[in-house]
Amino acid sequence: MDRKTNRILIFVVIVLTLISISEGVYIFKLKQTTNELQTPNARTEYSSLLVPYREGILWGFADRNGNIVIKPQFEDVWFFTDGLAKVRLKRLYGFIDAKGNFVIKPQFEVVRSFSEGLALFMKNGLFGFIDTKGNMIIAPQFENAMDFKEGLAPVKKNGLWGYIDKSGKFVIEPMYTFASTFENGIAHISFNGIDGYINKNNQKFFKDN
């Protein structure tokens, strides 16, 4: 066997060894960006340091050094937002705190992670919002909806999009065929087939043709 063949065999052995060693090592699952509260406290500062961790087919959480903090026990997990992480267990979604305790037991078939203290959920085909204790704050009544951003959420009712505040009151009545969340006080909308932007006073700015 010549030297070239020996080198190839040694390389293959090294690669296979590295692959076998890597089996069972934690895998970080980057699903979404962490979103800390604007007024941090000990709980949110701690939980924001946790990242999803997989062992076999189950998910838990580890710190950024790879130390397991919440043992793998869930079918799926998401990053912590507003101090809580969405997890799936027996095909239903709930929320845990940074110690792995359920704050909101698995009960939702469709729910999003928390944003600005409220989470979007669906029941009987309609969308509403819950708070971080699981209380229903805005009853399911919308055909579609998005997360709260900058205090407002786009929602669809009777085929058109508008914006509600955290009490569920419309601050911009449904009139758009499309509406995005606000960012820096501006949202993208579509009105009468024309794309444009609005501010929170519903002042419209249309793109030049």
Phi–psi pair at 47, nearest 5 degrees = -65, -30
Dist. CA 15–CA 20, nearest whole Å: 9
* Average pLDDT rounded to a whole number, residues 194-207: 93
What mean pLDDT do residues 173-189 have?
97
3-class SS of residue 186: strand
The pLDDT value recorded for residue 15 is 33
Per-residue model confidence (pLDDT) at position 47 = 54
Q: What residues form DSSP beta bridges with 55?
A: 58
Average pLDDT over residues 114-135: 97
pTM of the model: 0.76
19 alpha-carbon distance from chain centroid: 32
Per DSSP, helices labelled H in 85-168 are: none
CA 188, distance to chain mean position in Å, is 21
How many alpha carbons fall within 13 Å on the CB side of residue 76?
A: 10
> What is the pLDDT confidence band of residue 18, given thresholds at 50, 70 and 90?
very low
Spans of all domains in the chain: 26-108, 115-209
* Arithmetic mean of pLDDT over the chain: 82
Total residue length of the chain: 209
Confidence of residue 206 (pLDDT cuts 50, 70, 90): confident
Q: 3 CB contacts (<8 Å, ≥6 apart)?
A: none
- Is 7 a residue whose pLDDT tops 50? no
